[in-house]
Chain A
Amino acid sequence: MTAPLLELAGLTVDITTEDGGTRTLLDGIDLSLAPGEALGLVGESGSGKSMTMRAVTRLLPRGAAVSGAVRYDGAEVLAMDAGALRRYRDREVGLVFQDPRAHVNPTRRIGAFLIEALVRNRGVGKREALARAAAVLAEVGIDDPQRRLRQYPHEVSGGMLQRVMIASVLLAEPRLILADEPTTALDVTIQREVVGILDRLRRERGMGMVFITHDLDLALAVCGRVAVMYAGRIVELRSADTLHERAAHPYTLGLLGSRPSIDERAQRLTAIPGRPVSAFESGPGCAFAPRCGFATAQCETTPPALAEFDDGLVRCSRVEEIHAARTEATA
């Protein structure tokens, strides 16, 4: 067993509100990512999937208190001093966000944007940096990279700019990529190209990737394992190959039933009642209990632990009964 590249243990984030109260956003996240592995984080609003990524890079809102551990290649990220944190962010981790236009300076050419970190942080000469930038643009499938380097962000499409963002991440040669809804704003045909590029580069370069998305099927297509999050906790973790067949948590089952199919019209979608909640809105027991068709009085009061079930991890006190009932119903 190789040492994990990234390891989260009991990661908890609380935020202090203006009225002095505290609100829990993430509640005891345990995850590990092997070098070269792709892990999906899937969830709805308030599930904490983006907050997890921010905690990994310590890019948290003011007033946030973090506890637990974030270990990168064995180093405690939460204990890093300013210099170590900067090196970690600059060299080890690459971030790809949903909206590339919000993360690029619109007044500077793509070439200047791409070489900035190389020239300023790594002391690479400008000519050499531009050559590397052109090479990496070609790697992300951009034709005529020399012309693109001279263009401004507004002169290229959203899909092209997202490739530029991926190229900028690659230039730092990180070992970990954190991609937060990187294709949500793109058309499906472009989405397919962009996730294909991320996947190919991850394999070629042996990078670890955490892929955050609301789209369960996209996560299954891109990742080896997928963690489903609800109200700041992981509720199910499984291999992507078997999630459709083996999903056991009522929330995962609900997500699968909620999504319409391109192949046939469902008589009715098996919608989950109510709305997704954040960790601080949930009661003392299972956060999903108020929306769960299987919940008992005990579910409302006793929080379930994340436990092994059918080759995965599931956070549900009734998982065995539910599984047995479902197996019987389909037999």
Chain B
Amino acid sequence: MNAGNAVEVRGLSKHFKAHHAVVDVDFDVPAGGSLGIVGESGSGKTTVARMLVGLERPTSGTIAVMGRDRSAPARGARERGRRARELQIVFQDPYTSLDPSQSARAAVEEVLRHHGRDLSLTQQLVDQVGLTERQASARPRDLSGGQRQRVAIARALAASPKVLILDEAVSALDVSIQAQVLNLLADIRTETGIAYLLISHDLAVVRQLCDTVLVLRRGRVVEQGDCATVLDAPAQEYTRALREAVPVPGWRVSA
């Protein structure tokens, strides 16, 4: 393992009976780096994320995070806790991933306590994600989608992870709110040196937040490299088609 990598994935595959969801995928996320995995429905991008957090077991291949292998399930609470401090995940819909009875503050405190961290960090985390006092005391149902996503980010950061997986984490947000959260995520990476693995169908979001990109199709890597190289001069026909399908200024359907 290269010491400069936060995540190293080699030969990763996942088969669901006859369906090969992920086939022989290799990638690295450098420490403090930001990799975007893009693909359409059925590309396997979410299955990759689920294997990284331990929600699915790989059929074959290896996953190492911060130099430690996690291809096999964690043995015991101690190992699970350590893995949680290495890597956290934020999902698309915070409404279904937050406890409805818990305020933002309580959600963050629970994670801090679990990892034996100082509870006085709560305020710092609440401020870092831009929640007001009133919002931090509110329950999820009284918050907007963007505010709930800020809570989910604060909760993930409470474990002080080295890597954060963002699984379509800004996809469901209104455009003006999505911009706020993208700016927030960029700031957090600059301040903390955390690495991101962004799972997204949106090439523009990937360009904004990531240094490198990997294009997946039907479970296989089509192309990977620096965002500028892959998006400006795609080597593969599929990447070109994906890019050209995105509505941009001047794009007309009737052309």
Report B's interface with A, CB cutoff 8 A: 40-41, 144-147, 174-180, 182-183, 186, 201, 203-205, 207-208, 227, 231-232, 241-249, 251-254
Closest 4 CB pairs of A and B: A258-B179, A260-B208, A271-B179, A187-B40
- Whether A276 contacts B249 in the complex (CB less than 8 A), given A187-B41, A259-B204, A260-B204, comes out as no
Residues of chain B within 8 A (CB-CB) of A98 are none
User: Could you list 17 examples of A-B contacts with CB < 8 Å?
Assistant: A158-B41, A199-B254, A203-B254, A217-B251, A222-B253, A255-B175, A258-B179, A261-B204, A261-B208, A262-B203, A265-B207, A265-B208, A272-B179, A273-B180, A275-B144, A275-B146, A275-B147
Number of A-B contacts (CB under 8 A): 111
From DSSP, what is the main secondary structure of chain B's interface residues?
A: helix
Residues of chain A within 8 A (CB-CB) of B204 are 259-262
Residues of chain A within 8 A (CB-CB) of B249 are 217, 220, 244
Does A195 sit at the interface, judged by CB under 8 A? yes
**Count of A interface residues, CB-CB < 8 Å:** 44
- Whether A220 contacts B183 in the complex (CB less than 8 A), given A44-B175, A265-B208, A269-B208, comes out as no
Q: Is the beta-carbon distance between B176 and A258 smaller than 8 angstroms?
A: yes
Q: Is the beta-carbon distance between A188 and B175 smaller than 8 angstroms?
A: no
From A196, A259, A262, A269, B183 is in contact (CB under 8 Å) with A269
- Whether A271 contacts B247 in the complex (CB less than 8 A), given A260-B207, A262-B204, A266-B208, comes out as no
Instruction: Name the residue of chain B whose CB is nearest to the CB of A189.
Output: B245
Q: Is the beta-carbon distance between A221 and B251 smaller than 8 angstroms?
A: yes
Name the interface residues of A202-249: CB closer than 8 Å to any CB of B: 203, 214-218, 220-222, 244
Tell me the complex Cα distance, A264–B203, Å.
Answer: 11
Tell me the complex Cα distance, A265–B186, Å.
Answer: 11
Q: Is the beta-carbon distance between B253 and A196 smaller than 8 angstroms?
A: yes
Instruction: Name the residue of chain B whose CB is nearest to the CB of A188.
Output: B245
Instruction: Name the residue of chain B whose CB is nearest to the CB of A291.
Output: B176
Mark each residue of chain A from 145 to 184: 1 if its CB lies under 8 Å from any CB of chain B, else 0.
Answer: 0000000000000100000000000000000000000000
- CB proximity of B131 to chain A, nearest CB, Å: 13
Instruction: Name the residue of chain A whose CB is nearest to the CB of B175.
Output: A258
Residues of chain B within 8 A (CB-CB) of A4 are none
- CB proximity of A143 to chain B, nearest CB, Å: 19
Q: Is the beta-carbon distance between B180 and A271 smaller than 8 angstroms?
A: yes
- CB proximity of B170 to chain A, nearest CB, Å: 10
